[in-house]
Amino acid sequence: MTNPLLANWTTQFQMPPFGEITDDDFEPAFDIAIEAARGIITAIANNPEPPTFANTIEALEQGDALLDRVLGIFFNIAGSDSNPKRQELQRNLSPRLAAYSSEITMNPALFARIEALWQRHDDLGLNDEQTRVLMLTRRSFVRAGALLKGDARTRLQEITERLAVLATDFVQNLLADESDWFMELDETGLDGLPDFVLAAARAAGQEKGAKGPVVTLSRSLIVPFLQFSTRRDLRKIAYGAWVARGANGGKTDNRAIGAEILALRQERAQLLGYENFAAFKLETEMAGTPQAVRDFLMQVWEPARAVAMADADVLTEMMQQDGINADLEPWDWRHYAEKRRLAEHNLDESEIKPYLQLDRMIDAAFYCANRLFALEFQPIDAPLYHPDARAWEVKRNGEHMAVFIGDYFARGSKRSGAWCSAMRSQQKLAGDIRPIVVNVCNFAKPADGEASLLSLDDARTLFHEFGHALHQMLSDVTYASISGTSVARDFVELPSQLFEHWLEVPEILEKFATHAETGGPMPRHMLKRLLAARNFDMGFSTVEYLASALVDLSFHDSNAPADPMARQGEVLNEIGMPHAIDMRHATPNFAHVFAGDGYSSGYYSYMWSEVMDADAFEGFEKGGGAFDPVMALRLEKFILSAGGSQDAGELYMAFRGRMPGVDALLRGRGLATT
């Protein structure tokens, strides 16, 4: 029987035949695909013909197409619906992939062909996109060690393979801690919880096989529990378990893994001629240097900390009015912030959530994409990798643009957080290949027959990930290596964070924030209060984020710490971290940084991009409004369709005519001092 991962797919839109794929298909498909890719790479490297852009660079672009297909499906499923077999496969495949990557980048004959092309690139008659791809290809080889010799080359290969193993272990340990822990709630443990939290807790209890409602470490459940539970003792227990993920001792403890990852990154950077890993990593980003990142973050830290400290005084006084004569603790902050929001803005989340139905928020995102970019979304009835996932065909003017898959509900087999990925990327080299884009979230799953209700933060997350999806769907480049979100890390969050702004456009909430039971629109007085409170508790959210970004930078811009937890404590002490606020991601569960190199030294990029997204949305507002067709056209042309075809700074300059300063961000967050 033909392995369905390797067969020619005759499915609608050439979607993966999920109904035919089993876990037993992945490893043999991988074995065949990687050997096929090796054969192609060897043929390119040993081609007796002189190197040309077509027989070297374009051949490389297509060389691992079958492998990309297999891995695109496997890693998407492994992250969103893990099981022991898939975890074992991840552990086995990761070092093999790292070794394969090193074989390519350290193949001297192959690099010689690339270098020969680069040395005469001005004479090759290449267009701008081809020149960019050639430059990026050569740069990636050099940064992967192509110029190293002898023992240094061998050691870098060893480091690359070991880092792949450690990153997989880190993620799987975190998933184990998240999925294993839960706290059963008796009747008194339900005190203060509104109906939507009770429903989520009962559903979680059923999933865990408990006798009644439980609190788990899913953000969609633990955060509202911390907001509403009047049981301070239970909030402390739940919060403690949440922040202790990856630091519970035993086989799932990530602290030693984190230390080894940092040490290996430092060694890797020095082998490549850099003072430290941050200098290596940031060289290709918009920020450029560790000092530029630190200076930027500290511009925001001081005003954010001042606001947070003032807020802490208010919340402490509220707590003392409840008869609790103690310091405000991290497990208290969300609870009293929620009470303060109700008192100051007359906003009760249990009153808001019925107006933020998941299906209506999906409709809202699609509506905005239609108004801005003329995209249309039609549901697809096709087997997917999990019953909770759903799919749509994306069209424009009758033309097929993409397949979009949404996987929105939390489950024990899904890693935490939210993300966007592509099972297939847009490109034109091998024909007009349109993407298959996936958004994965972790919203609380409702009971059967009930609507899924979101918090405002959940709705922002949905819009955020859909902004990434638009970057993939509207990509219009020839080469897959620069397609969609294949851009600088501190530029990749611009489309996602920019799209968040449309959620809070009054017209959108008026149209799509409809009550789950009555179908009526959100009352205007509630809408006004909601928008007036958009920056509520911004000191807290900014401080917890910045602390994580500064710790990440400090891990990588000097010698690797032998004890990352000690370094974390030193950094927080140096910046004057408020006692009642913790880092958004403590080191042992900081998957952004330790699950791979993507956001290492780069967690700052969310805020770097926010400077641009605040400025970009001001451009819409100062023009013809949120749906200004001229600005939408420019956004698509210079940002969303361009992928990595030009330098990120050049793309933004083409879009807005200038680079922004931090002022728009501070105004947007309500942190401006004047």
**658-663, long-range: CB < 8 A, 24+ apart:** 660/611, 660/612, 660/614, 660/615, 661/611, 662/296, 662/299, 662/300, 662/611
Secondary structure of residue 59 in the 3-state scheme: helix
C-alpha gyration radius of the chain: 25
**365, two tokens:** 């995102």
> Residue 254: CA atoms inside 13 Å, Cβ hemisphere, count?
30
If one counts every other C-beta atom within 10 angstroms of the C-beta of residue 511, the result is 15
Which helix (DSSP H) or strand (DSSP E) does residue 403 occupy? Answer: strand 399-409
**Cα distance between residue 265 and residue 277, in whole Å:** 6
**Cα distance between residue 376 and residue 366, in whole Å:** 7
Residue 399: phi and psi, rounded to 5, are -95, 135
Examine the residue annotation and report whether 129 is marked as an active-site residue of this protein: no
What is the DSSP code (8-state) at residue 480?
G
CB within 8 A of 55, min separation 6: which ones?
44, 47, 49
Indicate the length of the chain as a whole number: 674
Farthest-apart Cα atoms in the chain, separation? 83
Alpha carbon 63 to its chain's center:
28
Contact 454, 462 (CB under 8 A): yes
Label the pairing between strands 390-396 and 399-409: antiparallel
CA proximity to 494, closest of 331, 660, 362: 660
**Cα distance between residue 216 and residue 209, in whole Å:** 13
Contact 597, 552 (CB under 8 A): no
**253, two tokens:** 């403890």
Which helix (DSSP H) or strand (DSSP E) does residue 129 occupy? Answer: helix 128-143
> Residue 238: CA atoms inside 13 Å, Cβ hemisphere, count?
29
Secondary structure of residue 379 in the 3-state scheme: strand
Q: What ranges in 106-194 are assigned the alpha helix state H? A: 108-119, 128-143, 150-180
Question: Which entry of 178, 349, 465, 500 is annotated as an active-site residue?
Answer: 465
DSSP collapsed to 3 states, 34-88: HHHHHHHHHHHHCCCCCCCHHHHHHHHHHHCHHHHHHHHHHHHHHHHCCCHHHHH
AA letter at 53: F
CB within 8 A of 160, min separation 6: which ones?
98, 99, 101, 102, 144, 268
Place of tokens 């819009």: 463
Secondary structure of residue 514 in the 3-state scheme: strand
AA letter at 590: F
Contact 530, 347 (CB under 8 A): yes
**Cα distance between residue 248 and residue 255, in whole Å:** 9
**Cα distance between residue 82 and residue 216, in whole Å:** 18
**Cα distance between residue 179 and residue 131, in whole Å:** 47
Label the pairing between strands 390-396 and 376-380: antiparallel
CA proximity to 294, closest of 559, 616, 575, 492: 575
Contact 493, 606 (CB under 8 A): yes
Which helix (DSSP H) or strand (DSSP E) does residue 402 occupy? Answer: strand 399-409
Known catalytic residues are 465
